[in-house]
Amino acid sequence: MSHRFEDVASVRTKLADARYLADEGIAGIVYLADRLGKPILVEGPAGTGKTELAKCVAEVTGARLIRLQCYEGLDESKALYEWNYKKQLLRIQTEEDSDWADIEDDLFSEEFLLTRPLLEAIRAEDPVVLLVDEVDRLEIETEALLLEILSEYQVSIPELGTVVATQVPLVFLTSNATRELSEALKRRCLYLYIDYPDLDRERQIVESKVEGINENLADQVARIVRSVRQLDLKKHPSVSETLDWARTLVLLGIDKVDAQTATDTVNILLKYRTDIDKAVKEFADNPDELVPEGA
């Protein structure tokens, strides 16, 4: 089996080329997943770069990204495969004078199979990154669909037999930890937790992702967001919201943020009225702490 990365350092370098700033822990898990042929379960708060990691790995390795967006009620027909019932019915109607046994064999052939993301990833002959996004939204019963795929990289189709992967996809499962995942699922994966970045890393992310921002403004943005995350909020600002706020400031021509500017634009950073009120009060009460003098 060919490998996608030479070593941990090459993971960091290649991801940096795609403007994803991976620390040693993230790069190490991606490297091990590639070498061991194991999926990665990535947990952490919403908006910390879990999905983006899978997208960037696909980009830097030249692999095709196949994404399964999980949601409550997702079943086998949307995740694995289903039969094209309309086309089957049409075949039955046009061949109604034929022997039923012959028709039945034909109905459950490749011609009538509709592949969904999981089966598509297994059947792919080209390099693939499979992203199973927000797996914690699945019901426990549906989660069991993943187990055969993650352990054996194969899918059993009763009418056709077992489909075994010709190449092992690199698999990312993301979770916002809204519920506890099964031990069976966790056991099959390497585990990676991505938290909000520290101050220096978030500043670097802002500098690399926001066109036209200067170093001082990027530093201010990172410091203010860090302070806001220390408040008791319903939802702390994600990295993506940090970037939206930084882009807003650049667009408005602001090169230094004061308490008034932070108040006027905080709705870009926070999306709940109660959170906005808390942040605005903090800006007013502690302007020097949130927006340090000379920052």
Q: Kindly give, in sequence order, each residue whose CB lies less than 8 Å from that of residue 209, ignoring residues fewer than 6 positions away.
A: 19, 243
DSSP secondary-structure letter at 161?
A: E
Which tens digits make up the pLDDT trace of 219-239? Answer: 999 999 999 999 999 999 999
Residue 236 in contact with residue 196, Cβ under 8 Å?
A: yes
User: Residue ranges of the domains in the chain?
Assistant: 8-80+116-193, 81-115, 199-283
Q: Residue 90 — pLDDT band, cuts 50, 70, 90?
A: confident
What single letter denotes the amino acid at residue 210? V
What single letter denotes the amino acid at residue 266? V
Residue 102: the pLDDT is 65
CATH number of 8-80+116-193: 3.40.50.300
Which tens digits make up the pLDDT trace of 20-78? Answer: 999 999 999 999 999 999 999 999 998 899 999 999 999 999 999 999 999 999 988 89
Measure the N-to-C terminal CA separation of the chain; round to a whole number of Å: 51
Average pLDDT, the chain: 90
Which tens digits make up the pLDDT trace of 106-153? Answer: 777 788 888 999 999 999 999 999 999 999 999 888 888 888 888 888
φ/ψ of residue 226, rounded to 5: -60, -40
For the chain, what is the largest distance between any 2 Cα atoms, rounded to a whole number of angstroms?
Answer: 86
Residue 98: the pLDDT is 64
Positive or negative, the CA dihedral 206, 283, 249, 233 is positive
For residues 221 and 288, give the distance between their C-alpha atoms in angstroms, rounded to a whole number. 14
In this prediction, residues 246-260 reach a mean pLDDT of 93
Q: Residue 5 — pLDDT band, cuts 50, 70, 90?
A: very high
**Of residues 153, 150, 156, 152, the one with CA closest to residue 186:** 150
Task: Note the Cα 175 to chain centre separation in Å.
Answer: 8
For residues 172 and 10, give the distance between their C-alpha atoms in angstroms, rounded to a whole number. 19
Residue 250 in contact with residue 212, Cβ under 8 Å?
A: yes
91-95, 127-131, 153-157, 271-275: least confidently modelled range: 91-95
**Residues pairing with 265 in the sheet:** none
Alpha carbons within 13 angstroms on the beta-carbon side of residue 193 total 2
For residues 72 and 101, give the distance between their C-alpha atoms in angstroms, rounded to a whole number. 38
Q: Kindly give, in sequence order, each residue whose CB lies less than 8 Å from that of residue 253, ignoring residues fewer than 6 positions away.
A: none
In this prediction, residues 155-163 reach a mean pLDDT of 86
**Residues pairing with 82 in the sheet:** 114
pLDDT over 90, % of the chain: 66
What does DSSP say about strands 40-43 and 170-175: parallel, antiparallel, or unpaired?
parallel
- Between the alpha carbon of residue 33 and those of residues 54, 138, 188, 260, the distances in Å are 12, 23, 11, 47
